[in-house]
Amino acid sequence: MGQFGFFRNYLRKMSQTIFGVSSKAPKPQNGSFSIKKRNLAIFASGTGSNAQKIIEHFKDHPSIRVSLIVCNKPGAGVIQIAADFDVPVLMIEKKDFEQGNMYVKELSKYEIDYIILAGFLWKMPEAFLNAFPRHMINIHPSLLPKYGGKGMYGSRVHEAVIAAGEKESGITIHYVNGQYDEGEHLFQATCVVDASDTPDTLATKVHALEHLHFARVIEDVIEGRL
């Protein structure tokens, strides 16, 4: 122990005797306290390519992590992606989702701070809107307000863009409110629609934009840069 160790112990014992306390507060490791991470739940019911990009982006992030995948479609690709990355999956039923707050309570077990919609088609009910004000973010594969709203998803969006002869399309990342695709915009990025584009080739261009920007925009919002 040496004389300094002995002296330190002696002082500690003296202070406990004098003040009658011994602190059980956790000591910082290596001189630093750990930060509580912000937990994301990704709601996705499709292939899950955006979910995968987001999981990868935050894998070693110091203060944000993907803690849960929420899915309403058995067999959806995103379930395998969650398994590959060891992220738990919560399967949900429409009736319980739309009525009451059973799933809001379920999310609180994971201490979820933000909900990310990445290919989730059900409208968010009152219970979620109240529990996560300005803490729900969606991505839509068009330049909203064009080509959004109920029934505008997947290839239907790109078919409509091409049928209208648009020269550009893109993505919109926005807060979620009580209406489909109508929340406040956070970010848009565009791509050219060529005369030769089909709904499939346009979908590929739009997906590339989603993969490039979505995770970073989420990070910017959570960290107060957006």
Record the tokens describing residue 199, joined without a space.
């709904």
Phi, psi of 113 (to 5 degrees): -100, -40
CB neighbour list of residue 36: distance below 8 Å, 6 or more residues apart: none
Record the tokens describing residue 138, joined without a space.
């969606």
CB of 115 to ligand GRF, least distance (A): 13
CA distance 70 to 115: 10
CB of 210 to ligand GRF, least distance (A): 6
CB of 205 to ligand GRF, least distance (A): 11
CB of 117 to ligand GRF, least distance (A): 7
- Closest-CA residue to 191 (of 216, 211, 175, 215): 211
Asked if 57 is an active-site residue, the reply is no
Q: What's CA 158's distance to the chain center, in Å? A: 24
Indicate the residue whose CB is closest to ligand GRF. Answer: 119
* Residue number with CB closer to ligand GRF (119 or 183): 119
* Residue number with CB closer to ligand GRF (46 or 183): 46
CB contact at 8 A, 144 and 179: no
Options 57, 61, 135, 140, the catalytic residue: 140
Contacting positions for ligand GRF (CB under 6 A): 44, 46-51, 118-119, 139-141, 210
CA distance 127 to 141: 26
Residues serving a catalytic function are 140
